[in-house]
Structure 1
């Protein structure tokens, strides 16, 4: 029914829609620069050309995500695929199939693979027995393709296709839902010049994964086999020590302390690069009792080898941001607590990661309390940390609403109130829109003065933007609740 207030309602709706759309546009612009802004403040500035295509940081204990950007982008992990090979080798050792002292004898096939110039490798000498512990170091540090294949063949008794199937089965088991493996090392099978045979597997297949999936893999790897870090935590390693076949390698993980871009606390894990994947790496870092896992994918381009170094500037910046933004602490004490308007009794203290200088919020589900996190968990297979509670009922108010007998008076009052509400909504919406426009105009003018500067916002533009958003939210609140 068309009433006197209908035009006000229509105008209010249109203004709200326009303001929300405009505000969203501006917010997106700010979000796009977020990584670049905190990278500059962290002391690890990132150039736009080397901004990662995808990244994620999680707590290694709980699986809670602390930072993410395009975590589900499908990408070629390159030599990071070797992490799954190490996982399966460690699992086979756990099952008693072999030990770190077990040796693999170098055959003519392995010698020939080690001499393929296009593949990252190390020297392999015919007839020499290579201990598994040295093969692990060769895989982890110089990223040796031949050592990776030697390790994989030990796991599945030279069934090379069987090992690749095993990789995909394990990925599915761990919840890596967007990962497919076509080889054990990150190099396509065809690159091995016919020396790597896996019937039924596409020889030109390029492994695919995501930052999220690789974080899930690393989470499980460190949880189950923390000893893997002994092979990844040194900037320089020597394999086959005290033998005529000794070789010394410098790490490609330049974020390790002692390396070019050393970051305090980093102790692994694996880098990878290829023509299709650019420059990638997984890092794990520990400060105090806190360990974080980070995945960086798609830094730079294969044609520009500076990406090999720049990935570590980006990675260090994101790690620094996560460590400085979050803290692990006691969030609630055992016993009585008031949460979400309810009185709860917790059966133990509750600890978790929360942003510094902010009040954490919580979710209550099926008698369990957990931390509400803007990014959530890295995988549904890894539930959020929680604590059991019981709710204590409190007596509510017995006051009853007062009846107004004069129905006509109520209708008149309601109509007048609606008119005032819609007028207030319109004023707030227009005011908010004007503030947003002003913040945008001032930002452009400042950007014009500071040519070449990415950071054009000032305290004034941020204040105008904040007040504009506040006005719009107030209008939305009036529109919905009154």
Structure 2
């Protein structure tokens, strides 16, 4: 019953990944950056349409901005690139103090037997020999040894193969690899281990599933958190167990690494600045690789998936012209530069100060635009980020407050400048105020005149009426005084506006 539950869970997870990937793939097919075959030819590489990669992406290793994409969300079998996730968890255990580079893993008879399986990539492991973790990491990353990978996974998980794969899937979700699902630690289906490696709860016949986007996210987090991985991948040739009877020499399968030997046709694919990370190939996944390159102070990560066909083993060479061409295009179009130098700046009407240079990857000859968000100044015309866990190009700022004295000086300067615009305008501000006041009063005068005339006329009428009642002294005097008062009020009201 438990096995059925695990199989159903696996099937549902895989179905969900396929559905999500299909939806995003349809969108990306409309918004691809360009034709990768044409890009390769434009930069002088001889490539055939039949070897066109099924998926690719390039991001910057500083902020995770997407610099190129071509169907980055199509689900693919990564094959041995899966080992990057295993190595990620090994480095996590190293940093947590769970193990050290000098921790010894003593090979078992089972390990030795797995090492002799030639249907999958391997190296010679001898039962009873102690292998330091650092040597097993080298064997995993360079010759892509499946047994070295399993030995590391068993070390970290206390020999719980299924538990380790569960940790791989948990870590993938944690860092935003939303379209990935692992069934094994090395990329080779568990069934290929002839019953000697069986992660409980996972389909032994199923391969791993991921996307170019997700692999770039994994590589991004690897370089951010554990950049020492490059010490294992930067050299074209390496020696494991040096100075022991078990010494072995290996050459990297990442032929874009400078110093790698030429292929059978005499071509050399070494690209200056490439120093990692991993290749992988399988019958279903064809030829893939993840590379990182540091050039002109700008580090980028690229993923190429689905090159060629498994029936043509030269596909391991064909993937590199496409990858090198994308590097050429990336370094032609983008640069890592000072976007905003440290100091004070006037941005969108606000004066702000940043304490250090704002650096980032931007398109060459582009004009930076900014927006404010909380206490961050963010590059608003940034490139799209590979996922929502990435941090955009931004820096903290402080608003510059001008003191009162400076404000008064600016106000005085503004007033002086304004008043001297015309020779006909007086420099005496009091005269200007007088004329403004006079203008205002004159506007009010018409109503005042009307009221004054009414008062004067009414008063005059009352005064004349008082003369009619002169025989009646009380009425006469009352109307006369009222009339005089009305006339007085009218006269006062008439001249008041000009007082």
Q: Same fold (TM over 0.5)?
A: yes
1:345 to 352, 358, 361: 352
Q: What are structure 1's unaligned runs of at least 5 residues? A: 1-27, 396-482
Partner residue in 2 for 1:331: 339
**Cα distance in 1 for residues equivalent to 2:141 and 2:246:** 18
Answer whether contact 1:178 1:213 (CA < 8 A) is retained. Answer: yes
- In 2, Cα distance between equivalents of 1:236 and 1:54: 28
Contact 1:333 1:346 in 2 (8 A): no
Write out the 4+ residue segments of structure 1 that deviate beyond 6 Å after TM superposition.
28-32, 390-393
Q: TM-score normalized by structure 1?
A: 0.72
Displacement of 1:72: 1.4
Once residues 282 and 167 of structure 1 are traced to their aligned partners in structure 2, the CA distance between those partners, rounded to angstroms, is 18
2:330 match: 322
Is residue 255–residue 261 contact of structure 1 (8 Å, CA) maintained in 2? yes
Q: Provide, for residues 207-261 of structure 1, a one-character-per-residue CA deviation record: whole Å limited to 9, x for no partner.
A: 1111111111111111111111111111111111111111111111000001131
The answer (yes or no) to whether the contact 1:344–1:389 under 8 Å persists in 2 is no
Going from structure 1 to structure 2, the CA distance change for 1:235 and 1:162 (only over 3 Å counts) comes to same
Shift of residue 33, structure 1, vs aligned partner: 5.6
Q: What's 1:254 paired with? A: 255
For 1:195 and 1:333, the matched residues in 2 are separated by 59
Flag the 1:370–1:36 CA change in 2: closer, same or farther, 3 A: farther
What is the deviation of 1:133?
A: 1.1
Aligned to 1:419: none
CA distance in 1, matches of 2:128, 2:333: 53
Aligned length: 367
Question: Do the aligned residues in 1 keep the contact of 2:362 with 2:382 (CA within 8 Å)?
Answer: no
3-state SS in 2 of match to 1:79 = helix
Q: Which residue of 1 aligns with 2:369?
A: 361
Taking the TM superposition and a 5 Å limit, the aligned residue runs for 1:154-193 are 154-193=155-194
Comparing 230-239 with 266-275, which one deviates more in the overlay? Answer: 230-239
1:173 positional shift: 1.1
Q: Gapped runs of 5+ residues in structure 2? A: 1-28, 261-267, 402-410, 412-499
Aligned residue number for residue 143 of structure 1: 144
Bigger radius of gyration: 2
1:71-86 equivalent positions in 2, closer than 5 A: 71-86=72-87
Alignment of 1:218-237 (within 5 A): 218-237=219-238
Q: Is the 8 A contact 1:346 1:387 kept in 2?
A: no
TM-superposed CA distance for 1:368, in Å, is 3.1
Match of 1:208 in 2: 209
Q: Distance in 1 between matches of 2:171 and 2:353?
A: 37
Pairwise CA RMSD: 2.4
Q: Could you state the TM-score of these two structures normalised by the residue count of structure 2? A: 0.69
How many angstroms apart in 1 are the aligned matches of 2:114 and 2:31?
49
CA deviation profile, 1:41-93 (whole Å, cap 9, x unmatched): 32334322222111111111222221111121111111000001111111111
